[in-house]
Amino acid sequence: MTPPSQSTTATAAGPLLVEGRGELSGAVTRALRSGGPPAHAPTAVREADPWGEDLQLALYLLYELHYRGFDGVADEREWDPDLLRLRRALEDRVLDALRTELSDAPRSVDDAFAPLLVEPVDLSGSLSHHLETAGELWQLREYAALRSLYHLKEADPHAWVIPRLTGRAKAAMVAIEYDEFGAGRADRVHARLFADLMTDLELDPTYGRYLDRAPAPLLATVNLMSLFGLHRALRGALVGHFACVEVTSSPGSRRLAKAMRRCGAGPAAEHFYAEHVEADSVHEQVVRHEVIGGLLADEPDLEGDVAFGCAATVLLEDRLAAHIREAWDQGRSALRPL
């Protein structure tokens, strides 16, 4: 299996733009390069597959303007009215699809999180279990290349919720984020630890390097947290997303640390996940009892949003895992071909 290739890194100004995958993402790419508005057919958003390559890449490119932007794209484009108008239309398309698919999902926090607090008896469908027990080094490299789109900005999307919280919830969220950002040490920032993991795996740790190789199911998982994070009205959903990640992280990280060790991936590769085993087991308690508990004490009407955020996270993560396993079971790469 051919591993992810390396190429010229992006400049310090930001990652490199990639080519579009259809009418909408092509319109965004052309607009960012030219400085003009995104030109597309009036019906393009309405007719687009909400989970397809075109819409998900378009949304990712628009969201990235709120993170590090792109090389050669003016910082001012972050608040360009035409780009924001398109972004809102794409977001509405995704939210409508999510709400339709999750119409029967639990509406209480207890019901939403109960299945996540018990280790499943059957782990045959678990991606981390496969990597722990049977994964090969090339699969670990692909998994890391895909996950780099989030882990190289780990915790950044969730930081947007901090000014939207008060009291217990704010204090607890800041405490968790402090750990995520290295507890005051640049070499301990989790994004830096993941870059070290990528180096161990002989991958390019440049921010955004593997965007062109990332399929729509991966883009959707990253876009979800940006969608929740950039809207104050969705603060409850972002807390639900964050809590879901923390609750499920420790068992999965334990399996991935074993996978890295078994395949000889290197000490930094193993350390990234070993670090999350201990940290996230503590974070899980804090986020459930203090972040969610504090938020709902202040704003009980947000319980349904917290449950929705959890359910949406599970839905998209399961979809990504199925995409990866299907590709690997067929003996092919889970990365998008160039």
Q: What is the pLDDT of residues 248-272, one digit of tens each?
A: 888 899 999 999 999 999 999 999 9
Residue 177 lies in a domain: yes
| CATH number, domain with residue 296 | 1.20.910.10
Q: Are residues 113 and 207 in the same domain?
A: yes
Do 134 and 61 reside in the same domain of the chain? no
What pLDDT was estimated at residue 75? Answer: 96
Task: Tell me the residue range of the domain where 33 lies.
Answer: 23-101
pLDDT of 121 over the 80 cut: no
Residues 74 and 118 in one domain: no
Question: Is 7 within the bounds of a domain?
Answer: no
Is 121 within a domain?
Answer: yes
Q: What is the pLDDT of residue 13?
A: 65
Number of domains in the chain: 2
Residue 275 CA neighbour count, 13 Å, CB half:
19
Q: Which residue has the higher pLDDT, 304 or 282?
A: 304
Whether 147 and 204 share a structural domain: yes
67-89: average pLDDT:
97
Q: Is residue 186 part of a domain?
A: yes
Give the tens place of pLDDT for each residue, 135-173. 999 999 999 999 999 999 999 999 999 999 999 999 999
Exposure class string for 156-195: b at 16+ Cβ within 10 A, else e:
bbbebbeebbeebbbebbeebbebbbbeeeeeebbbbbbb
Sign of CA dihedral 210, 212, 218, 220: positive
pLDDT digits (tens, 9 = 90+) for 290-314: 999 999 999 999 999 999 999 999 9
> What pTM was computed for the model?
0.94
Do 83 and 163 fall within a single domain? no
